[in-house]
Chain A
Amino acid sequence: MDKLLSVQGVSLFFGGLCALDGVSVDVQAGAISGLIGPNGAGKTSLLNCISRLYRPQQGEIWFAGANLLLHPPHALIGLGLARTFQHTELFGTMSVLDNVLVGLHGAGRPPTMAEALGLPSARRGAREQCGRALETLDIVGLGHAAHDPVASLPLGLQKRAGLARALAGRPRLVLLDEPAAGLNSSEKQEFTALLRRLRAEIDLSIMLVEHDMDMVMTLCDHVTVLDFGRRIAEGPPAAIQQHPDVIAAYLGVD
């Protein structure tokens, strides 16, 4: 398999505080890759470096042959890299459909001038985008709620709406920040099944930051463990569970 994402020796400091210390992580094409670690280990910081919300002081991040650090955050979806957020960060005043349409922003949007003049091509483009957004909602099982205000959905469905928004631009890799947080166990199982289905059906690679060990161990092909901003282990889930450093980090053994 090819490396789709390659994080090489990334260090991130907030003033004197070292959030990430020379972290390297790879994600293979077609893989579901997990990023775990205790609270404050730097998981979300690393995700934010990859999605260009933070600028690391050292290291390189490559995605599908592109040096990500040379691209602004709004250009990533065009390269095939999307993300979700821990607290969904949906556009609260919009409908579910409009949220997904925002996710389609970079993909096949009619030119602004055509839109301003109300040209037939713009109307056609808007209809096509609507169709694609509805398809994406069907994929995550939210087609029935397309016209509901997104804020009216329960959290489990909001997470799906956030996923649909990320998937709308047809990314090759999606970064998921704690997809299981706040879900009950049946919602977690459904979400796990959904992610598996997505990999199989739309050829999606996934990197997820997650606290829920069940989800990580059943879903991931490969797991990277961070602690205090350092990578302390990586490998297949079964090996990670046995890894002495990982056990020490989680249980606090010196």
Chain B
Amino acid sequence: MMRRPWNQCAILIALVVLVVVPWFLDDYTISVFNTAGTYAIVAVGLSLFCGRLRQYPLGHAGFFAIGAFTAALLATRLDWPIWLDLPAAGLAATLAGVALGLPTLRLGGPYLAIATLGFGLLVQDILNKADWAGGRTGVSLTPIWPDRGFYWLILALLVAGAFVVHNLRHGSFGRALLAARENEAAAQASGIDVARYRVAAFAVSTAFAGVAGALFAHWSGFVSSSSFGLPLSITFVAMVVVGGVDHTPGVIVGAGFLTALQQVLEQQPHLADALYAAIIIAVLLLGQTALARRLLALFRRIPPFAVGQSHG
């Protein structure tokens, strides 16, 4: 695939800005960035599955919660350091993802969404009732770094995750997923173990959600089942869809945009929900393509500086 040089340039500039920017921000803004970053990690992982298979699971808050609680419990009860916590959380969420994916990924259409939605609610309910996981009060951790320290860790993992997803999406892995979606029999005849690829893509998305959950637990210093409900699962899918299911940088922009929107609308949660629904419906009606890219295309139609417009 040919890539336009300005694409790479824009990504490089954005990266430099993101690395430097925390020095100029107050603590509140950094915490918003951290929220956006952790959510973006989930959205990026999910976009590989959604983008290539065009299926939308609605239970990733459950995997996020599994990661968050795994990290929180390991850190508080067993004093595990963060560099062991994060992979352990990712592993726990991946195992849960494979266990859920094996029976449910045969389901097409809305049924996968329904099954995963049920899983998300189940995880929340179990954590809510489990005394060993803090029950209704949740678990508090002592953050090991200031928010700014976590900012760079989250950014580093987000960039690494986006790199991995980009490689998989545009390599033989992504091609195999696309083939499986377009024509299962022909994909099988070409040597693709369709069921295994579906589960693998789902497992990648749950691994990302688990690690992101662990990051969330560590920098926010508090996890509670009440914050990992269905609205969060819908938020993750909304971030993927708004950003453009097949476009990794777009998904990150989508995550940032929706987190910022959430902060602005924090006083009116119902309005925020209604707005989400409207955004998802609008994006789906626009043909499942990137809202961001549509806006960009619109932008491009405006002649730059209107120089040399002698005809028209």
Contact = CB atoms under 8 A, between A and B. Distances in A.
A206 to B, nearest CB: 16
A21 interface: no
A75 B171 CA distance: 21
Contact of A105 (B163, B167, B176, B185): B176
A74 B194 contact: yes
A2 interface: no
Interface string A118-137: 10001000100100000000
Contacts of A122: 167, 171
B211 to A, nearest CB: 14
B263 to A, nearest CB: 33
A93 B171 contact: no
B186 A85 contact: yes
Given A109-B172, A112-B173, A118-B167, A103 B190 contact: yes
Interface string B170-183: 01110110110011
A182 interface: no
Interface residues of A, number: 38
B172 A110 contact: yes
A78 B190 CA distance: 9
A89 B172 contact: no
A92 interface: yes
B105 to A, nearest CB: 16
A91 interface: yes
A53 B184 CA distance: 11
Contact of B189 (A51, A94, A101): A51
A101 B167 contact: no
B167 A117 contact: yes
B200 to A, nearest CB: 8
A141 interface: no
B171 to A, nearest CB: 4
B27 interface: no
A241 to B, nearest CB: 32
B192 interface: yes
Interface residues on B, range: 20 to 34
B30 interface: no
Interface in A64-120: 72-78, 82-83, 85, 89-94, 98, 101-103, 105-107, 109-110, 112, 115-118
Contact of B188 (A74, A115, A118, A126): A74
A93 B178 contact: yes
B125 interface: no
A92 B172 contact: no
Contacts of A78: 191
B95 interface: no
Given A105-B175, A116-B171, A118-B163, 20 more contacts: A53-B185, A74-B189, A74-B193, A75-B191, A82-B189, A89-B183, A89-B186, A91-B178, A91-B183, A91-B186, A94-B182, A102-B190, A106-B190, A107-B191, A109-B172, A112-B168, A115-B171, A116-B168, A116-B173, A165-B186
27 contacts: A51-B189, A53-B188, A72-B193, A74-B187, A74-B188, A74-B189, A74-B192, A75-B191, A77-B189, A77-B190, A85-B185, A85-B186, A85-B189, A89-B185, A91-B178, A91-B182, A91-B183, A93-B182, A94-B175, A94-B179, A94-B182, A101-B175, A105-B172, A107-B191, A115-B173, A118-B163, A126-B172
Interface of B: 163-164, 167-168, 171-173, 175-176, 178-179, 182-183, 185-194, 200
Interface of A: 51, 53, 72-78, 82-83, 85, 89-94, 98, 101-103, 105-107, 109-110, 112, 115-118, 122, 126, 129, 165-166, 169
